[in-house]
Amino acid sequence: MQSSGFFVTVGACLAACDVEEKLALTRAAAADWLSGRVVLEEAPETVPVAGRPERPVLVRPRELPQRRPDSPEGRGVLFHAIVHIEFTAINLALDHACRFRDMPVEYYGDWLRIAAEEVDHFEMLRGHLRGLGYDYGDFPAHGGLWQMAESTAYDVLARMALVPRGLEARGLDVNPGIKAKLIEVGDSRGAALLDIILRDEVGHVAAGDRWFRHLCAARDLEPQATYRALITRHLKGGLRGPFHRDARLAAGFTADELSALEQTPHEVS
């Protein structure tokens, strides 16, 4: 059985700009890793630039169309935004795996597996978007999630704290409210898809939490204080509540940590 190098293989997934190519390469890489056909090798000096298609056009958040699920177009805008998050999440997981070196082998398996799960999410949600009469790229999007990846590229601990445990955990918080609005307008299929997303994303945030705590222990850092310091450094205005306590607890946050976040005035809006 001929094997290939992990960093080269995952780098090719990350660099792919064509959507269908990225999906296929990522699925194949995850399957090859599980079968032992992909093995860790000495990593290249550089990490590929994350590829994405020419569309959607990226704009500032305030320039985005309104996501009003009570109209067909507004629901299309809403699901387009979620589909874009899932596409970005594929690149995030691939970048987590490709960028940071000298981590335990389980770290690389976790993020390649999660990248493949994000592929499933993307395709599932894109199918629903197409059922609404639109496709990925039909509306503009913003790049806030990827901007956080760029600003934390200097350290895997900061990345685990502020992408999985930060912005992606925010997805756990807003999921129930979006689901309720979809049920109100009769989109039961869309609401059911959000249930699947919530279930899987708890596991993805949990992976980030696990590696964040692993790194804190390795560096003799107190996790809660370290997390708050990184929030202050990178997130202007802090974290916004309210928080989905049950989902965050399932993903590894502690009750004391959540209580402290909820009690910090500038972090609750």
Widest CA span in the chain: 58
Model pLDDT for residues 97-116, shown as the tens digit of each residue: 999 999 999 999 999 999 99
Where along the chain do its domains lie? 4-51+69-267
Q: Residue 70 — very low, low, confident or very high, per pLDDT cuts 50/70/90?
A: confident
**CA-based nearest residue to 117, from 187, 233, 196:** 196
**CA-based nearest residue to 249, from 236, 262, 238, 237:** 262
pLDDT beyond 80 at 3: no
Q: Residue 226 — very low, low, confident or very high, per pLDDT cuts 50/70/90?
A: very high
Task: Quote the CA–CA distance of 75 and 129 in Å, as a whole number.
Answer: 9
User: By 3-state DSSP, what share of the chain in percent is helix, strand and coil, each rounded to 5?
Assistant: 70, 5, 30
Task: Report the share of the chain in percent with pLDDT over 70.
Answer: 97
Q: Residue 1 — very low, low, confident or very high, per pLDDT cuts 50/70/90?
A: low
Q: Any idea which residue has 């293989």 for tokens?
A: 9
Mean pLDDT score across all residues of the chain:
94
Rounded average pLDDT over 87-104: 97
pLDDT beyond 90 at 72: no
Rounded average pLDDT over 19-31: 98
